[in-house]
A and B are shown apart, each in its own frame.
Chain A
Amino acid sequence: MSAAKNINITLKIWRQKDSKAKGNLETYTLNNVSTASSFLEMLDQLNEQLVNERKEPIAFDHDCREGICGMCSLYINGRAHGPDTGITTCQLHMRMFNDGDTIYVEPWRSRAFPVIKDLVVDRSAFDRIQQAGGFVSVNTSGNTIDANAIPIPKDDADKAFEAAACIGCGACVATCKNGSAMLFVGAKVSQYALLPQGKVEATQRVLNMVRQMDEEGFGNCTNTGACEIECPKGISLENIARMNREYLKASLK
């Protein structure tokens, strides 16, 4: 890997005071950004500069900063989680950019993800979809059954695990031209549908989760496949097909 150097960049960042305000893109210049820093560290550096200038710092979401919590978002240069594949915004590094670059930073755009402030959007629609059926009902009154007590075919376990890798970041919605949440919901439906513990409530789960997804105002999948490409966890379109099968089965019952 080449040694880190410092670059100067121009940023066009969405600023919006609150959910009601009409936002706009603001232009900032930021000098001496180390290519070894992460994208979010670069934003920290910009915020420091803004605070020193007695300006309002930019609000953006983040938590773990290691690609596991799904909290960071950001639509960077026209792509969810920016250039590079299989990563979240917190895992994006400034070595992906060149000296003199102009970088667009926008929030996820979806009717179901309203902007709260600047780059922060409200993703509680995902929580409500999960609450509608993304769980298995287990009695936890002190004698919980060990999940591993039931043997599961390796292939099913692997597929369920791959689906469960979804961190609920919303990049699929953000990148989809239809603002569809089907990759997320497909992953959540699949992760349970593949396992014996999940089969018990499979019918109600898929019907309820899809109904909630539709009520939240997400669009309809057109199978463009953009979500699969931008998903930081490589969730496969197979999960949408599985959800469609599960939904057909459930509807015919």
Chain B
Amino acid sequence: MAKSAFLKSSIAKKYWMALTGLFLCLFLTGHLLGNLQLLIPDNALHFNQYALFMTTNPAVKILSYLTYISILFHAIDGILLTIQNKKARPVGYAKTDGSSSSMASRNMAVLGTIILVFIVTHMANFWAVMHFDKKMPLQSVTIENMGQKMELYVTTDTGKFFPKDSIQMMQNGLEIRNRTEFYNKQANLKMGEGYKDLYKITIAFFKDPKMGLIATILYVLAMFALSFHLLHGFQSAFQSLGINNKFTPAIKKFGTAFAIIVPLLFAIIPIYIHFLLK
């Protein structure tokens, strides 16, 4: 009996909400540290290296699958709980006084749904492009050689570059295979590996003359929703897991700081790109 109850009972559902929610907080921290590299003025290298690492490293692969599963499980469980909770009060009150609980705590499902819509569009805009788009550009740099400007593809070997100009590529017998690999056609030999230029995609996305401002505003609004979700959610997860003791005041303080700082730093990035980046 105990085993089946461990998925279905009210309390067990809350353990899963809490565990997946806290895991997603870890994910947010990692994701934020990556995104902040967009702000480093280094010709995109840090950020694109990070993007490559995130799509190829095996440990990251495992973590990313855990993240997908957590988001799905958290969202489905959260919606199931919310439906049950609505059913628990079929007839509502004519008059209610909200003073005994916080706004955020009463609207976790609405806030979560906003976050879910954000995650889906966010993945369509960046994750899907990075993973599947055949036209994803490779990172290049412009150098000046005796008054002549040249575009060169950057590769994972520092100091190794390939010309971007397609005629020059042909003259050197080079071609790009599998979106990122530079091959010597005749020898069928891999000469180097380029970086997908996620940096360029991101900057273009938020600087787009038509949609850039709207994208920035929606991004910031989603971060507000995330902030409120976490303002209640972070400390709530500990209570769900049965942790309510002398550390609780510290957990609450940390949770509040986390809920404000993390979404704020996320939001600063598109604001910086849209309004300040030259």
The answer to whether residues A77 and B236 also contact, given A217-B87, A218-B88, A241-B244 and a CB cut-off of 8 A, is no
Contact A110 B101 (CB under 8 A): no
State in angstroms the CA–CA spacing of A57 and B12 once bound together: 45
A237 to B84, CA, bound (A): 21
The main secondary structure of chain B at its interface with chain A is helix
Selected from A219, A242, A247, the residue in CB contact (under 8 A) with B89 is A219
On whether the beta carbons of A177 and B244 are closer than 8 Å, the reply is no
Give the number of residues in A that approach B within 8 Å (Cβ atoms): 51
CA gap between A250 and B102 in the complex, in Å: 32
Does A244 sit within 8 A of B, measured CB to CB? yes
Cβ-defined contact, B97 with A223, below 8 A = no
Residue A199 CB within 8 A of the other chain: no
| Chain B positions 78 through 115: 1 when the CB is less than 8 Å from some CB of chain A, otherwise 0 | 00010011011111111111011110011010000000
**Residues of A with C-beta under 8 A to B85:** 177-180, 219-220, 222
A222 and B2 contacting across the interface, CB-CB below 8 Å: no
A251-B6 contact in complex given A111-B87, A180-B88, A224-B106, C-beta closer than 8 Å: yes
By a CB distance below 8 angstroms, the chain B residues around A179 are 85, 88-89
Given contacts A106-B93, A177-B101, contact A223 B239 (CB under 8 A): yes
A251 to B3, CA, bound (A): 7
Nearest residue (CB) in B for A203 is B2
* Contacting pair B14 A177 (CB below 8 A): no
A24 CB to nearest B CB, Å = 10
Q: Which partner residue on chain B sits nearest A245 by CB separation?
A: B242
What CA separation (Å) do A104 and B6 show in the bound complex?
Answer: 41
List A contacts of B81 (CB < 8 A): 220, 222
Q: Which residue of B lies closest to A14 (CB)?
A: B94
A252 CB to closest chain B CB (Å) equals: 8
**Cβ-defined contact, A242 with B84, below 8 A:** no
Smallest distance from the beta carbon of B213 to chain A beta carbons, Å?
Answer: 36
The answer to whether B95 touches A220 (Cβ under 8 A) is: no
Chain A residues packing against B (C-beta within 8 Å):
12, 14, 25, 75, 77-79, 104, 106, 109-112, 175, 177-180, 182, 207, 210-211, 213-214, 217-226, 229-230, 237-238, 240-248, 250-253
- In the A-B complex, the 3 residue pairs with the smallest Cβ-Cβ separation, listed nearest first, are A219-B88, A78-B97, A245-B242
